[in-house]
């Protein structure tokens, strides 16, 4: 037996909204973003390269590549997988 969805007048499964998560942004984060926005580099540049290097070290990888979206990551994955057959470990955040 199926029950009617709450959106259609059925009984909700919980009384309170289920939170998706909570971000933690401190003054250091705000300062770092402000510095980037006031620089000549917003989408590329030295901070991206710095992030890739630090991230690669953190996950114990030789290299890391930052992309702007999940779509770009998937396109890169399929291009790598089916065109060159390279072996790459993928980590999506």
Burial of 65 per CB tally in 10 Å (0-12, 13-18, 19+): middle
Nearest to 37 by CA among 50, 23, 49, 47: 47
**Tens digit of pLDDT for each residue in 58-83?**
988 888 889 988 899 888 888 877 77
**Tens digit of pLDDT for each residue in 15-50?**
888 888 888 999 999 999 999 999 998 878 899 999
């Amino acid at each position: 037996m199926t029950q009617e969805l709450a959106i259609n007048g059925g009984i909700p499964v919980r009384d309170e909204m289920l939170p998706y998560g909570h971000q933690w942004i401190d003054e250091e984060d705000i300062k770092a973003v402000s510095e980037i926005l006031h620089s000549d580099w917003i989408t590329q540049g030295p901070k991206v390269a710095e992030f890739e290097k630090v991230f690669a070290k953190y996950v114990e990888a030789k290299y890391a590549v930052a992309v702007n979206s999940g779509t770009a990551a998937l396109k890169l994955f399929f291009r790598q997988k089916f065109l060159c057959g390279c072996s790459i470990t993928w980590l999506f955040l």
